[in-house]
């Protein structure tokens, strides 16, 4: 009986042992291939999982959403509200220095535009903008700078207004009716702290609703250069970037 039992047990374990041998062999082969690829400089990456998406309204749509859930989102109040807010918000263009700022004027301003320049100084950039648009108005809080700008560009309008004086900005916009400022250029010193720049952007977005807001700000540009949406971050999408 003992010899028979041993033979029977050996027959039963043989398939298991064979399977284990196959698995071990396959693992060894995969390890060898991975080693060869790594030795040749091929980066080994984690498999990408299906990425979340961003709806046109700005909402994050998880990759697990079904077609029915996506369709339901498209008809939701949230979706319509987000689209409405985005449609009324100006495009924002950020520049770091005067060369970029004036290049943006040349590339973005056309003969149909009414342009407000905030922080016109003595009219250096004003001259570039005014030569491109239908109507130009420059403002600065320093009377001596405004006086010089008027002297340099006598055919254009310059006003002594503090950039943060929303009431005077609105009053100035009223003089444009039924037209409006379609583009606003903002230069209150390119190195001004970020909090001040963002607060000022809010003033003009809410007061004037231009199509495009062009801002000269070194801190804001550098913030945007290093910024990343979480939905596109490697840690979110399960992707390991190869080391340089």
Altogether, the residues listed in the chain come to a count of 244
The pTM of the full predicted model, rounded to 2 decimals, is 0.68
For residue 178, whether the previous peptide bond is cis, meaning omega lies within 30 degrees of 0, is yes
Q: How far apart are CA 73 and CA 54, in angstroms?
A: 12
pLDDT in tens, 6-30: 444 444 445 544 444 444 454 454 4
Residues facing 116 on adjacent strands: 137, 184
pLDDT in tens, 70-86: 888 888 877 877 766 66
Q: How far apart are CA 142 and CA 123, in angstroms?
A: 13
Least confident of 5-14, 109-118, 141-150, 200-209: 5-14
């Amino acid at each position: 009986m003992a010899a028979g039992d041993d033979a029977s047990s050996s027959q039963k374990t043989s398939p298991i042992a064979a399977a284990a041998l196959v698995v071990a062999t396959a693992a060894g082969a995969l390890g060898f291939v991975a080693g060869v690829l790594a030795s040749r400089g091929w980066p080994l990456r984690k498999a990408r999982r299906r990425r979340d998406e961003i709806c046109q309204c700005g909402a994050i749509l998880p990759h697990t959403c079904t077609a029915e859930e996506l369709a339901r989102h498209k008809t939701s109040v949230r979706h319509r509200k987000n689209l409405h807010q985005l449609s009324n918000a100006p495009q924002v263009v950020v520049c770091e220095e005067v060369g970029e700022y004036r290049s943006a004027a040349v590339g973005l301003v056309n003969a149909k535009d009414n342009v407000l320049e905030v922080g016109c100084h003595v009219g250096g950039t004003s001259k570039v903008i005014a030569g491109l648009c239908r109507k130009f108005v420059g403002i600065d809080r320093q009377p001596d700078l405004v006086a010089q700008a008027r002297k340099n560009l006598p055919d254009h309008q310059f006003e002594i207004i503090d950039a943060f004086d929303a009431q005077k900005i609105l009053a100035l916009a009223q003089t444009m009716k039924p037209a409006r400022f379609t583009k606003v250029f903002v230069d209150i010193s390119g190195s001004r702290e970020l909090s001040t720049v963002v607060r000022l952007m809010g003033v003009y977005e809410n007061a004037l609703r231009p199509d495009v807001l062009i801002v000269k700000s070194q801190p804001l540009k550098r913030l945007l250069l290093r910024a990343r949406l979480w939905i596109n971050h490697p840690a979110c999408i399960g992707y390991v970037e190869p080391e340089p």
